[in-house]
């Protein structure tokens, strides 16, 4: 049985490690919340979150930062008053890696209240 993404841990990926191919990324995407999308141009895994106010947005950003630091895999974040857009990509491989999907699953778990 495969370990759920949210229970896996990111691994260091040296420059030149292979990125996931599209079929692999699509398979992993199916394990995440439906609002995650693949930006094939970047490539990146992207999702926007909406909140009631700035305080809740910043609390979410801080929680994502905590996950990112624990996993040593850091997203790009776009933050406004009541919205945060999260972009995961693995720069060292020039595309997507398992690490992006692991962190996205952990953010999903955070939102569900069991992260």
Residue 66 to residue 63: CA distance in whole angstroms: 5
Each residue of 67-81: pLDDT tens digit? Answer: 999 999 999 999 999
Q: What does the pLDDT average to over 46-72? A: 97
Domain residue spans of the chain: 18-112
Read off the pLDDT band of 1 (50, 70, 90): low
Per-residue DSSP letter, 7: G
Residue 114 has pLDDT above 70, yes or no: no
Which of these, 22, 16, 61, lies nearest to 45 by C-alpha position?
Answer: 22
Each residue of 27-44: pLDDT tens digit? Answer: 999 999 999 999 999 999
Confirm or reject CATH 3.40.50.150 for domain 18-112, answering yes or no. Answer: no
Residue 26 to residue 9: CA distance in whole angstroms: 20
The pTM of this model reads 0.93
């Amino acid at each position: 049985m495969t370990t759920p993404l949210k229970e896996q841990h990111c691994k260091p990926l040296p420059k030149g490690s292979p990125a996931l191919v599209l079929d692999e990324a699509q398979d992993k995407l199916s394990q995440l919340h439906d609002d995650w999308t693949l930006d094939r141009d970047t490539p990146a895994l992207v999702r926007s979150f909406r909140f009631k106010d700035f305080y809740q947005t910043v609390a979410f950003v801080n929680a994502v930062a905590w996950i990112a630091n624990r996993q040593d895999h850091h997203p790009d974040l776009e933050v406004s008053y009541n919205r945060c857009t999260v972009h995961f990509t693995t720069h060292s491989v020039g595309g997507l890696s398992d690490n992006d999907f692991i962190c996205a699953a952990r953010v999903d778990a955070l939102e569900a209240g069991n992260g």
